[in-house]
Each structure stands twice: as C-alpha cells, then as structure tokens.
A and B are shown apart, each in its own frame.
Chain A
Amino acid sequence: MTAISCKNLCKTFQQGDQTVVGLDHVSIEIDSEEVVCLSGPSGSGKTTLLNAMGGLDTPDSGEIRVGDLRVDLLDKGQRADMRLNEIGFVFQAYNLIPVLTAQENIEFVMQVQGVPAELRHQKSLAILQEVGLEGLEDRRPAELSGGQQQRVAVARAIVSEPTLVLADEPTANLDSTSAIQLIELFLELNRKLGITFVIATHDTRVMSYCRRMITMVDGKIVKDVQQDQAPLAASEHNAISQT
C-alpha cells in the first residue's frame, strides 16, 4: 500500500532577483512501512520535498497524496489538522518547547488532538520507556542532552501513532553514538509499529541503515535504489518472519 506519492512536484523560490528551483518535476511513491532515506547535497531539495509531503509548504504544481488524502488541495487549517493527525515530524534542531517537560512535550500533540488526560499520561510514559528516557519525564529540554532531546522529539512524533514520520536531518546535531542509537530507534519503531519513515539526511551513517535511498540534485531525483546490505524494513521483516 502506498503511504505517500508525489507526481510532478514543482517548486521555485525567489531569492532577490534570482529564481531558485526547489523541486523540478519530482515524482515518487513510498510504500507503507518503508524506511526511506533522502540524500543529496545542501540545496538539492530534500527539505523542500519533505515540507511539501508534510503539508508545511505547498508546491507550485503537481500532486501529493498521503494515503488517500490530496495534500495539495487542502487549505491551511486542513493541512494543520493533517499534520496533527497523520504525520509525525522530527527536526534537525530537536525543536522541543522549552517551557514544557519531556513528558509534556510528548503529550503536546495529543493535547491538541484532544486525547483524554489519563490516556495521554499512559501513552507518554509508555513511549518514554520505549525511547529509553524512563525517569526523565519531568526534565525540561535544557536539562537533557542533545541525544535525549532528539529522543523526546521522536517520542512526540510517534506517540499519536501517525502513519508517516518525516525526519529532516535528525542526526545533524548528534554525536556518533547518539546518531546510531537514534536511527536504530527509528528502525525498531518501524519494525514494531509499522510506521513509514522518510529521512532527509546527508549523514552516511544514517544512509547505511536505510534499505531505500533516494538521491536528489538540483531539485530532481537522480537516483532511487534499494540497498541490500541495509537492515530490513518492517514489511520485509514481517514477510520473512511469516515464512
């Protein structure tokens, strides 16, 4: 089943007098439970593509579907609701709300969704355990390390059980150990919960863990390959388990 599909996406930006091409007729299909890596040099269009997929930005032309939903046809409020309910985001710079504790940050999305307090509490504690932050629930972001903050961000992204997680350079500010722990966490969550991950990165450590790697240059997809050596995505893992 297709988790997300893009057809002929085009996006340009105006920088002073110059028109910069962000996306140049990008077409892509990502299946459910895949872990996909978007790579490419800076300015190649990775983040632009992620933003378009997540409804944070609108393409100039083309079509985006998340599941059955035409993202490019939604208005601002509907896109906000889609992000709230269908997509989890992990950003480069942790991006936690500094005045909330780790647990409150995780519960934030559920609070906006209107999930009852008791259920929110249960789920956030469970997910904190899942990402290895048990006991740190009352700490504010400033009291956590970079790796711990990114784990909180991941927990926040997946706690409301989205079908898709979009991660933009999630390891950029992490040391090697934390980066590997984070990508292993992604793969574990993919295997356990069947969440589709699209990770924009130019971190080779991350790339080596993804079965499918899409390379972008100047707003175009120039390469889309399956890597045999990478750990299995959830669908493949399940298929093997069943045989």
Chain B
Amino acid sequence: MQNADQIRTNALPPLGTLMTLAWRNLWRNHRRTAIMLAAISVGVWAMIFMSALMRGMVDDMLKRGIDQLPGHVQIHNPQFLDDPSIVHSLPEPDSAMQDALNQAAVSKWFSRVKVPAMISSERESRGVMLLGIDPEAERETILNGVELTQGRFLESAGDRGVVLGEKLVQRLETRLGKRVVITSQDPQNNLAEIGLRVIGIYQAELRSQEEQFLFISKQAAQKLLNIEDQVSEVAVFGDDYRDIARVSQHVTAATESWNSRLPAKVEANPWQTINGFLSSSVTVMDGFVLIWIIVVFIALSFGLANTLVMAVFERVREIGLMLALGMRPALVTWQILLESVFLLLLGLLLGNILAVLSIYALADGIDLSGVAQGFEMVGVGNTLVPQLWIKDLLTANAVVILLGLTTSMLPAWRAANYDPVRALSKAT
C-alpha cells in the first residue's frame, strides 16, 4: 500500500503563481486599494518627514549648543567641568602639543579663557560668561555664529575692548563706545576687575546667547585674572560634530602624552561628556522617532488589516477552491501575505518619494520667526531645516514592512484555515 510519504510534494512554493495572483487580486477593487495606498503613502510620508523635522530641530539645537560650548573636544583641568573657575586652569599647549593639534584629524583648535564674571555699566550689573579669545585665530569661527551689528570685533591679542551681545547691552543700558567694568576672581580668590570700552555689539540667533557671552582678548583676560600663560580650555574642532571619534581619539592620545610633561594632569572630553543634556537629546530623539513611526503605523495598521480582511472575506469561495484543488494552506498564507507586501511596497515607494521631495523642497528651511521665542527656549533658531537621516528612512520602511506583515498574519492565517467544503458552499 502507498503510504503518506509517497505523495509528491513540491520543495519550492510556486512563487510566480502566487505573485501573479497576489498582484491581480490587489487590483480587483481599485478604489479600496487606491485609498489604502494613499493612507500608507501619507503615513510613510508623515513618518519620514516629521522625523526629518525633528532631526533638523535637534541638529540645530546641538549645533548651537556646541557653538556655545564651543569645541567638539575640549581639554580641561579635570575639576573644571564641576567648577569652571579660573582656579581650575591649565597651561597653554607646549610646542609638542601644538604639533599634535595641528595634525590632519583636527580641523582647528583654540585655547581660551572662560570664566564666570560680572559686568557692570554705570546703571546695571549682570552675571555673564567671559570668553578671553585669541581674535586673530578665533574671530572667523565666532563671527560665523553671530552677526556684528555695531562697531567692530576684537582685532588683536592686545585689543583693549569688549564685544557684547545686543540684549546684554540693553540690560546694562549701555551703548557702543561706553566703558564697562568686568569683575571676576583670580586663582587666589582675590577680586579682579578691568574697565574696557564697548567696541562691538553682536546679535545671535538665540537671543539668550547675547546675554550670556561677552568677548575680550585672551591677553586682557589673562591680565585681568593674573594667570600668565594659563587658559581655561583648549577647544578642538573636527569636521562634523556627529563624527568626532577620530578627532577625540587623536586628542585624547595627544593629551596623555602632554600629561607626561605637565605637573598636574589635564583631560580631554568630547562634547557629549561636557554637555550630557545635548548628548542625551540625540538618544531621546532616536527613541522619539521610533515611537512616532510606530504610532503612525498603528493607526495605519487598522486600515491595512481591514483591507485584507475584506479582501479575504470577498474571496472565501476562491480560497476554498484553491485549497480544494490541492494548494497547501501555507501557500494560501503566502499569497495573502504577498498581497500585503505589494500594497506595503507600493505605499512605501510613494511615501518615500513624497517625503524626499518635501524635504528637498524645504531644503532652505522653514521660517519659525513667528514662534522664535518658544523655540529659543529649547535652543532652536529661527529657521528649521529638515534633515533626512538614512537611518530614519530605513527604520520607517522596516517598521512598515515588519509590522505590516505582522498585521497581515491574522487574515492570512484565517484564509489558510478555511475548510474548503464550507468555503466552496459560500454564496458568491
């Protein structure tokens, strides 16, 4: 007697047949498929476009935050991050360290004095962060981030002027050409003060920055604080704040070597360590983007499941026929899943094109000046430029495919488990 094992079975599913059936079945109800395609496309567009807006916002926030630090990797006295006073200073890099910092991995570097100080006009006083910079080296970098609206910027190491933000000038009720007094403490905790003339006024996109930072020459700062050849930090820049692994590694190695020549150790830290809030905002945004993508998909999945359930329900007889003719239930499952895959792939294609075009169309940014104050609170400027991250694009596509197939499993499973006799007896 022939036993069950002797029955012929096919090793491979007839993919061509399944694909033909799936594709043609998809277009049996043009209107329903078109509505579902529109829903998936808009959903995918929303996932990618909104992610790009959020990425743009965070990127802007990070860039501005890092510009305010500023420096992708910074070398400090180990206590400086906890207490950024002049007590925790470090020496100017020696020639060997300077050689190391002039290597290809580093795009630019500056040493500067950075201490909390008090500025007083004849009317008002304000707490600020004093930046003692080398104007010849750092001028261009600083003027990239701010706009000089009155006067001039610091020009030489010995420049005896101060450059203030427009908002600080308003607060102090002073103006260009007037003298102000800057007070701080020297390393011996003695009061140190210097009178300087306001030589320039700048405007920053983040108005809070105008109140926070003032610029004087490094020499003037060192003289004020009585710290000859000492600085607060060495700021090192790579090409891109997102990719600082190489520059960080290089600076850390150079710093370790420098430490062997120093009486007290210094340390190099990437911006992520220096500003945990900025760093965690990237991680938070990663999670937020994923949650956003999943939430949009869950809304979509109801439509998708309904479409497939209806498509299966309308074809009960046909599915019963295929089962009766000897199609294995697993192949019926595959056929329904393929329908879902085609629908999802088409929706993804349209949604991706739509999203990329939208992002491309807004490449110059969206003007947020109407709500600038609100955005400034989180450190975002007046213009929001959407940023398409390939990672987000792939995540959105992967989530739609994976969750889409998961959603389709139930109707596919139901179809595969129809009893052919009952299915064939259903009225058409």
Contact = CB atoms under 8 A, between A and B. Distances in A.
Contact of A100 (B24, B323, B328, B428): B24
Contacts of B331: 112
A109 B325 CA distance: 7
B325 A81 contact: no
Interface string B4-34: 1011111110101100110011001000000
Interface string B125-137: 0000000000000
B8 A81 contact: yes
Interface stretch (B251-259, B314-322, B389-397): B314-322
Interface in A36-55: 51, 54
A111 B11 CA distance: 13
B1 A51 contact: no
B2 A67 contact: yes
A81 B24 contact: no
Contacts of A73: 4
B326 interface: yes
Contacts of A77: 328-330
B8 A99 contact: no
A156 B25 CA distance: 20
B10 to A, nearest CB: 4
A74 B325 CA distance: 16
A119 interface: no
B324 interface: yes
A132 interface: no
B191 interface: no
A238 B331 CA distance: 41
A33 interface: no
B291 interface: no
A156 B326 CA distance: 12
Interface residues on A, range: 35 or more
Given A51-B421, A81-B326, A112-B326, A70 B1 contact: yes
Interface string A68-104: 1110011111101111111101010101011110001
Nearest to B26: A99
Contacts of B2: 67-69
B21 A84 contact: no
Nearest to B328: A80
Contacts of A188: none
A56 interface: yes
B368 interface: no
Query: Which of B28, B324, B330 counts the most A-chain CB atoms under 10 A from its CB?
Result: B324
Interface residues of B, number: 35
B175 to A, nearest CB: 81
Interface in B380-428: 420-421, 424, 428
A16 interface: no
B328 A57 contact: no
B317 A95 contact: yes
B325 A76 contact: no
Contacts of B326: 80-85, 87, 109, 112
A112 B325 contact: yes
B4 A100 contact: no
B262 interface: no
B35 interface: no
Contacts of B8: 81, 84-85, 113
Query: Which of B2, B317, B318 counts the most A-chain CB atoms under 10 A from its CB?
Result: B2
22 contacts: A56-B421, A57-B421, A67-B2, A68-B2, A69-B4, A76-B329, A77-B330, A80-B326, A81-B9, A84-B326, A84-B327, A89-B325, A91-B324, A95-B317, A97-B321, A104-B20, A108-B17, A108-B325, A109-B325, A109-B326, A112-B325, A114-B12
Given A97-B318, A109-B326, 9 more contacts: A77-B329, A83-B324, A84-B8, A84-B325, A95-B321, A95-B424, A100-B20, A111-B14, A112-B14
Interface of B: 1-2, 4, 6-12, 14, 16-17, 20-21, 24-25, 28, 317-318, 321-331, 420-421, 424, 428
